Structure 1
Amino acid sequence: MNAPHPAALPEPSRSTALSQDSEYVGLKMFAIVLVAVIAVVVVSSAIRIPSALTLNDTLRHAASGAPASQPASAAPGAGPAPVVATAAPPPATPAAPGAPAQVASAPAPAATDAPAGAIQTVGFKPPAESAIPDGPLGDVIRKGEQIFLHTAQNAKPYVGNTLNCVNCHLDAGRLADSAPLWGAYLLYPAYRSKTKHVDTFEDRLRGCFMYSMNGKAPPYGDEVLNALQTYAYWLAKGAPVGEKIAGAGYKKLEKPTQAPDYQRGLAVYEAQCALCHGAGGEGTRSGDTQVFPPLWGAQSYNWGAGMSNISNAAAFIKSNMPFSKGGSLSDQEAWDVALYIDSQERPQDPRFTRDVATTRKEFHDTDDSMYGKTVNGKVLGQNIK
């Protein structure tokens, strides 16, 4: 049965019905307002949660001494933020035997009390070339970059071969695990066993010209050194001074299972290196441009260069060679081919004294150097002056 319309009811009944309708409408409006308030509270709480989490992360990092993660965009003029990554679960199955090794920077410090999935600082990213500032400072930075990329052309008085700095410090000195320029800049002044005294970064650069470039050291204060130092400073902007951070230098390569072998190294060189560096280690050229650097011979680094140490060469090769395929050689292959390359003749050590035997005893008395050793019936270190 349908309820009668209020207008059809007697007067007292109609008043009662109208009152009930008003109460119903009021309750309905109250319910709508209550739902809206609850929705606003929920949304506000959701917005506040990320801020609270960010604060908690900052406090946790401060307590542990680790730097807090940086915002996506820094203030103008600020140094680049460290690269961060979220910890990922391990793969379900191990890599297949013989699979290419992952090229990575040095292991990050062990987490303290950070929960799984917490953001951890894992490395440093130098500023992009496009971020070089305008003005006089930017001009010197660009000059340093050009010297670094085209050393033989832009620092000709101090270079004695066809190498460029970028041949051993890839991606314009930016690439991790290839002795990046930003990593070296942070660690000087420092005591070096090679020189037996504390070297400044300028000293270190002068040594590169003497040994790696087989040339002569620019005088202190020279514009070439000034430009290179300025470029290095700019690349390292935002990184912690005095600390070796992930990716600086070369990635440490443990001794191989078998002692490095010349013949195995020759096989690796012929299969993986000769296409770019030549069968005789002479490198490849296009007109006057050295496309790929010579690895031995008169136009390569001399016996005093760091790359003439087998361990340095092996570490560089493992992480970076063949070019664009770093990590594809096994550790054993990297050691073998490094031994092979550093068992070839190259320019004399500038510290040469009376004879090869004496020079070896003073500067190369280690299994890491082939200088003064006999290979294929010839004593290394006496053929190229």
Structure 2
Amino acid sequence: MTHPLASRFPSRAALALCLGLLAVGLETAFAADATLPPKSEINPAAGTGATFHPPPESEIPKNEFGKMIKLGRDIMLDTPQYAGKYVGNTLSCVNCHTDAGRMAGSAPLWAAYVNYPAYRSKNKKVNTFEERIQGCFRFSQNGKAPPLGSKTLVALQSYSYWLAKGLPTDEKVAGRGYPDLAAPALPPNYARGKAVYEARCAVCHTASGAGRYVDGKTVFPPLWGDKSFNWGAGMGSYKNAAKFIYANMPYGQSYSLTPQQAWDVAYFMDAHERPQDPRWKGSVAATRAAFHDSKFSLYGETINGKVLGDIGPPKNH
């Protein structure tokens, strides 16, 4: 499987360099831990029990519906280009839903689609699938929600519907979300996480966490700072981030980190400032009490002498 953004950029030199560097040490990592899956199965789906395979792109209908499916796929792959007016950072959907939303164990769209409408504790109401996608734009994309029935939401829903062809509804399909991750043996730690980040992550995401760009296009996304997801995003929970990282990162090296390393580096990533939660209640304390009352959220916590989230009201919302 190629990198989900590779075909979208005219220059691949930076991408090739990063992937080459990531491959260094892979043999050692697998030789050292016999519990890891075989190298032939190094992808997020390993160990999820997933048996469903979405249809290949060659089967997209050659009609008006097919055009909408393709638009949904394109939005997944390059959200700033195809849905830019709703995006407030440089991330694309594919950064959290790899292989254009097809990969089991990487929050695949087909597994999510068949489980909506559903109640969400995040906004305390039953959400349609379109409303769930609206949340992604508002939080993960740090943007604004496309209107219900808009071309953007219709395209993403059409693509998800098509990927889920043949799946029954209202079932917890194997491969949904990110694989479960055992609790860490030690409490997640900033210093250990920093060491993991510098050794395994910075080559792609840079030491500053700002991501890498080629010709103005995002090759590897920013993990914190103004161009990343905001405090309301799912990745703002370092538990969610740890599950994603363990199964999906470094890219192409699924499960090469230990669970402890995944927890530690997720903690380190989330211990950095990012855009304000758009549900801002006027103060960090009030916003944490309303939306971040969890041991897995660092919003409002003091890290390195700074209260995270203490950056004032949200911008551009």
TM over 0.5: yes
In the alignment, which of 255, 264, 268 is matched to residue 196 of structure 2? 268
Kept in 2, the 8 Å contact 1:173–1:179? The answer is yes
Structure 2 CA distance, aligned partners of 1:181 and 1:147? 13
Q: Which has the higher contact order (CA 8 A, sep 6+)?
A: 2
- The equivalent residue for 2:102 is 174
Kept in 2, the 8 Å contact 1:100–1:328? The answer is no
Shift of 1:311: 1.0
- Find the residue that maps to 2:207 and give its secondary structure: coil
Structure 1 CA distance, aligned partners of 2:35 and 2:93? 28
Instruction: Report the count of equivalent residues.
Output: 278
**Which ranges of structure 1 fall in alignment gaps of 5 or more residues?**
1-94, 109-121
- The equivalent residue for 2:220 is 292
- Find the residue that maps to 2:227 and give its secondary structure: coil
Shift of 1:99: 3.7
- The equivalent residue for 1:359 is 287
The TM-score normalised by the length of structure 1 is 0.70
1:191-239 deviation per Cα after TM superposition (whole angstroms, max 9, x unaligned): 0100101000000000000000000001111010000000000011111
Structure 2 CA distance, aligned partners of 1:138 and 1:298? 36
Q: Which amino acid aligns with 1:202?
A: E
2:123 is aligned with 1:195: yes
- The equivalent residue for 2:27 is none
Shift of 1:368: 0.9
2:193 is aligned with 1:259: no
In the alignment, which of 337, 343, 347 is matched to residue 271 of structure 2? 343
Name the Cα RMSD after superposition: 1.5
Shift of 1:105: 5.1
1:23-71 deviation per Cα after TM superposition (whole angstroms, max 9, x unaligned): xxxxxxxxxxxxxxxxxxxxxxxxxxxxxxxxxxxxxxxxxxxxxxxxx
- Identity of aligned pairs, percent? 56
- The equivalent residue for 2:241 is 313
Kept in 2, the 8 Å contact 1:211–1:304? The answer is yes
2:261 is aligned with 1:333: yes
- Find the residue that maps to 1:323 and give its secondary structure: coil
- The equivalent residue for 2:142 is 214
- Find the residue that maps to 1:133 and give its secondary structure: coil
Q: Which amino acid aligns with 1:160?
A: G
In the alignment, which of 111, 119, 122 is matched to residue 183 of structure 1? 111
1:213-232 counterparts in 2 under 5 A? 213-232=141-160
Structure 2 CA distance, aligned partners of 1:200 and 1:338? 30
Cα 1:200–1:380, aligned 2, differ >3 Å: closer, same or farther? same
Structure 1 CA distance, aligned partners of 2:61 and 2:303? 51
2:230 is aligned with 1:302: yes
Kept in 1, the 8 Å contact 2:190–2:267? The answer is yes
**Which ranges of structure 2 fall in alignment gaps of 5 or more residues?**
1-29, 38-43
Shift of 1:131: 1.2
Kept in 1, the 8 Å contact 2:205–2:212? The answer is yes
Kept in 1, the 8 Å contact 2:48–2:104? The answer is no
- The equivalent residue for 2:5 is none
Shift of 1:98: 2.8
Q: Which amino acid aligns with 1:250?
A: Y
